[in-house]
Amino acid sequence: MRKKLEGNGLWESSRMMLPEHKAAINEYEKATRQRERVELDEQEWDNVARSMTDSLQQRQFITLRLFHPQEELIVSGVVDRVDQLKGRFMVDGEWFSIHDIEGAAVEEY
């Protein structure tokens, strides 16, 4: 009996876990793994704009780092279109938000 009262013994000695407990544990783990959005300064935005313009006009391969709450998202390809009114751009036929960009680099061959 003494072992159950030490530390987390009462919880660990119990073999029963309610669905509510499991859901709460999963939500807690999900919340702790979320990434924070990176704010770019003006110089970094100029670099991103220059890289996207080079990719759009000269058909150069670009690698963009985008924000995602759970993981780091990397998009590689050639910028096809930029829609400034809606704040999005197209890479290889797929639209992405301009506001999610965390970094950009043009690939040199």
Low-confidence winner among 31-45, 52-66, 87-101 (lowest mean pLDDT): 31-45
Question: 49 near 94, Cβ under 8 Å?
Answer: no
How far apart are the C-alpha atoms of 80 and 93, rounded to whole Å?
A: 7
Q: What's the rounded Cα separation, in Å, for the pair 86 and 93?
A: 16
> What number of other Cβ atoms are within 10 A of residue 95's Cβ?
12
More confident site: 70 or 46:
46
94 in the same domain as 51:
yes
The count of structural domains within the chain is: 2
pTM of the predicted model as reported, rounded to 2 decimal places: 0.65
Residue 37 lies in a domain: no
Distance (Å, whole) CA 80 – CA 88:
11
**H/E run at residue 65:** strand 62-66
Residues 28, 57: one domain?
A: no
Q: Are residues 50 and 27 in the same domain?
A: no
- Residue 1 pLDDT exceeds 60: no
> Which domain, by its residues, includes 53?
42-106
pLDDT of residue 14: 60
Helical residues (DSSP H) of the chain, grouped into ranges = 2-5, 9-13, 19-32, 42-58
